[in-house]
Structure 1
């Protein structure tokens, strides 16, 4: 059954217009919160949840949902003096996802604690929250759902559970289920974090888990190109060039991410399982051979099994799973075609 919105869902934050310096034409933005009702997959009863969202672009234009990986938030694009959004290179007036032609909708990922302390959070829960938000905002039908990584998993769940709300689906580095090797790698990362919590070193453990994750996000070619130089002896031992890169990535992640949130969303990736035969939506799949988390073989299987028409586009990139954040020149024409 479709998720139902609260009859009177007052926003927690008022809708605001874009700052004058960033405004183009009559573009507007809402960075707000709506309360909706849904029944968690791993919870016993329906619950009310506050969905934090950003909805920006040309008024009355078709809406495009954009969702990223587990470390992404609703700020896919930002304005004025704010730090750039996580997909800023692709979204904006005149850019690939053109805010003169579309309105972009993104949410902050939910966690089990926000669902009445459900046992876990699923990609289906995230999809149901988005569907309820679409209803609450009066959008009617979504022009496209662009999902990267976990966002693509949620997009597949959205298309399977709410096909009447969606015209087309674009999946970047996302499949219908996690690859078992990727699950093994994430399981080790979660074990590191749990051990750190038990031993009183949670931040150090989260940093190490992130460092391990970084070795799966990028391709082997990039590591060879960037970190092939000789080690440097300092502080009583040899330091390899890649270590400084990994340690910085760990520190940056700890500064902006919560441990419980990390554990819940990492687990949610590995709980993801959508039957492609239940997805009737026109779908564009985009992958790269260097992606070690989502192999092309999984995307080929997904393309074969999808109920609706589906195409598979392959880009050559050294950036692995992160290619979908880096390869704007290669991705732009594919995304424009998928949205057209």
Structure 2
């Protein structure tokens, strides 16, 4: 691994400057840096014609001069994977990424982007390959010769496979959680119903209500049966002229929260992108650690077993028992931490 000097955010295409954050370590190179910005890059979209200019928003946190680890999550995740001291946003994976965490910012720099959308590319649809290409071009812009690892969860795991398939020399290893080489047809069916609800809402002028309802349906696929059975087994309550079941208030809350931070077009595009994803495992030579959950109904363990068998490079499959289904990659930091440490060692 070649350690390159830290890239400063000084060109016209970058909106935020690098800032150094002091850390209590004896070694000078343990100084932590945080860079958040936007770079204007040129991409050739899979579903478009020719080069397009697109603004890619990213965050790059960690020890100055250390190797870079790409970390990407599901379609609702953003570049705020973690945060350094003094930052208000904690990050969607802060329990596993940070100083002294499984992905230790004292020894690496974590790079993440906000997912691109068709509106940004000027296309009708966006692919996992487009997201992967954006990351590769961003690496070049940041003067990173090669990523030490790509750690991807859910949609991020799909993008990781597309990355290694198209740009195998740009990454040393993959760590993929709850994501496979293609979407399972039953999961595609569930997502297509969700997209149908949102489109119906757009046509009828009830976009927020439709997006919230679609999210409620999605939540029932993200979590495991055991968790729902444990949390929502109580009796219904009669109020507002009808019975309300214990799970309903939870789902309504989840739908409302989603509408506050997501928009319908973005959801439709990224949901579709999951179902368009299709990577031939035989084209991925990169050493890979797969992590799956038996309770995951969106990405069945059988699909990860098939992926492991077909990958061209060496691959291991770690199975983690959890009641949380697909969301176990967010809910099981204590079980995942040692697996991530070992995979990145």
**What TM-score do you get using the length of structure 2 for normalisation?**
0.94
- Residue number in structure 2 paired with 1:144: 149
- From 131, 139, 144, the equivalent of 1:134 is 139
**Distance in 2 (alpha carbons) for counterparts of 1:99 and 1:86:** 15
Equivalent in 87, 90, 95 of residue 89 of structure 1: 95
Matched, 1:12 2:19: no
The reply to whether residue 277 of structure 1 matches residue 282 of structure 2 is yes
Tell me the distance in 2 between the aligned counterparts of 1:95 and 1:246: 32
CA distance in 2, matches of 1:114, 1:75: 20
Say which SS state the counterpart of residue 335 (structure 2) adopts.
helix
Q: CA RMSD in A?
A: 1.2
**Residues 9 and 36, structure 1, Cα contact 8 Å, conserved in 2:** no
Deviations 1:107-151 (A, max 9, x none): 000001111x21210000000000000011011011000000000
**Paired residue for 2:6?**
none
- Establish whether residue 43 from structure 1 lines up as the match of residue 38 from structure 2: no
Are 1:234 and 2:235 matched, yes or no?
A: no
Give per-residue Cα distances to partners, 1:1-50, cap 9 Å, x unaligned: xxxxxxx66312222234x6x88751001001111111000001111111
Which of residues 187, 201, 204 is equivalent to 1:182? Answer: 187
8 A contact 2:83–2:98 mirrored in 1: no
Q: Distance in 2 between matches of 1:83 and 1:104?
A: 16
Tell me the residue number matched to 1:5: none
Unaligned stretches of 5+ residues in structure 1: 1-7
Query: In structure 2, the residue corresponding to 1:73 is in which secondary structure?
Result: coil
Q: Does 1:162 align with 2:167?
A: yes
Structure 1 distance, partners of 2:299, 2:24, is 38
> What is the match of residue 4 of structure 2?
none
SS of equivalent to 1:65: strand
Runs of 4+ aligned structure 1 residues displaced above 4 Å come to 22-25
TM-score (norm 1): 0.95
Residue 317 (structure 1) aligns with: 322
Structure 2 gap ranges (5+): 1-10
C-alpha deviations, 1:229-257, integer Å up to 9, x for none? 11111111110000000000000000000
In structure 2, the residue matched to 1:302 is 307
Query: Of 255, 266, 289, which aligns to 2:271?
Result: 266
The corresponding residue for 1:110 is 116
Once the two structures are TM-superposed, the CA of residue 258 in structure 1 deviates from its matched residue by 1.1
Separation in structure 2 between the aligned mates of residue 321 and residue 104 of structure 1, nearest angstrom = 23
Q: 1:329 aligns with which of 328, 334, 345?
A: 334
Aligned residues: 330
